[in-house]
Amino acid sequence: MGVDPGNGNLIVMLRAENELLLPVVIGALETQNIMVHLSGEKPPRPLGPDLFYNTLELLGVKVLRLEIVELKNGTFYGRLVLEQRGLEYEIDCRPSDGMALAIRAGAPILIAEQVLEQAGIKESQLNRQGEPPKA
């Protein structure tokens, strides 16, 4: 995760298997939801993604993966794939919310090839501070 010094946006850099990076701008609350879990902190009360994940577990639903499936007008679109009793369910979601849930579940985050073609950057394109190139 990083901050775009030009505008202060928070950015998650997702690494694809083909060595491309996908910079995804996310909000401050979503960043907090991800970072709290990654840091191992235990908040005194569950955060939104914790509540949702705990509810899914209680109901016997497994988070299989997050798919980032589309980039339209500068906005990424995601889909959570869940499984219960052998049936898969796909739920539209914001990638940032899906990331917070997938990380808690230990589920993979997949990126559609077309999205990588549109917005993926090579690591060599990052400047020394790890920031994406300016548009």
DSSP assignment, residue 132?
Answer: P
Provide, for the chain, the percentages of residues in helix, strand and coil under a 3-state DSSP scheme, each rounded to the nearest 5.
35, 35, 30
Residue 27 has pLDDT above 70, yes or no: yes
**Distance in angstroms (rounded) separating the CA atoms of residues 134 and 32:** 25
DSSP assignment, residue 83?
Answer: E
Domains of the chain in start order, with CATH, are 2-127 (3.10.690.10)
Residue 129 has pLDDT above 60, yes or no: no
Most confident residue range from 20-24, 104-108, 128-132 = 104-108
pLDDT at position 127 is 60
| Virtual torsion, Cα 27, 33, 35, 39, nearest 10 deg | 170
pLDDT tens sequence across 110-123? 999 999 999 999 88
